[in-house]
Amino acid sequence: MTAHRKLRDRGIVEARERGTASTLTLRHARALPLAVAATESERFRAVLVTLSSERDDARARLGRASTPAAQRRAAQDLAASHERAAAALDDLSGVESVETAMRATADAYATLAASAEGEWAAGWNQAGENVRRSEAALVGAIAAAG
């Protein structure tokens, strides 16, 4: 398969056969000046670093929680961290799937928090499984976004 065909198959069509970035037309994306793309990339990484730090702290507290109230607070903090991270990505280009996955993970942690003080252990277990699936989807979205 030629490089031209690979580009065409990914939705990138060369306007001219010069091989420079200025000759490309993007079908399903908007072009960004390089300085904007670099700034957005830095912001994306900063959001991920902040989320990772907050997540590590809250997950450690969740793991140490000895009461349903402490579990609820830690899960609420995890939900809030993911929601803040998603909001921080709101105006960045090309990370919509990450933002969506962050919001889904926030929702999963909110459900976990709500189930923490319930009498039904299966509800907590199901909510925990939803958190694991949401976290996995988030990891995949981040990897795909680069």
Question: What pLDDT sits at residue 28?
Answer: 57
Q: Which pTM value belongs to this model?
A: 0.73
pLDDT per residue as tens digits for the range 51-91: 999 999 999 999 999 999 999 999 999 999 999 999 999 88
The mean per-residue pLDDT over the stretch 95-123 comes to 91
The one-letter code for the residue type at 21 is A
Question: What pLDDT sits at residue 94?
Answer: 84
Query: Among 5-9, 22-26, 105-109, 134-138, which is the least confidently predicted range?
Result: 5-9
Residues in CB range of 33: below 8 A, 6 or more apart = none
The one-letter code for the residue type at 146 is G
- Does 112 score more than 70 pLDDT? yes
Listed as own residue / partner, the contacts of 115-118 with beta carbons closer than 8 Å and 24 or more positions apart are 116/68, 116/69, 116/71, 116/72, 116/75, 117/68, 117/69, 117/71, 117/72
| Domain extents in the chain | 1-31, 33-145
Q: Which helix (H) or strand (E) holds 109?
A: helix 96-116
Class of CATH domain 33-145: mainly alpha
Tokens of 141: 């979205």
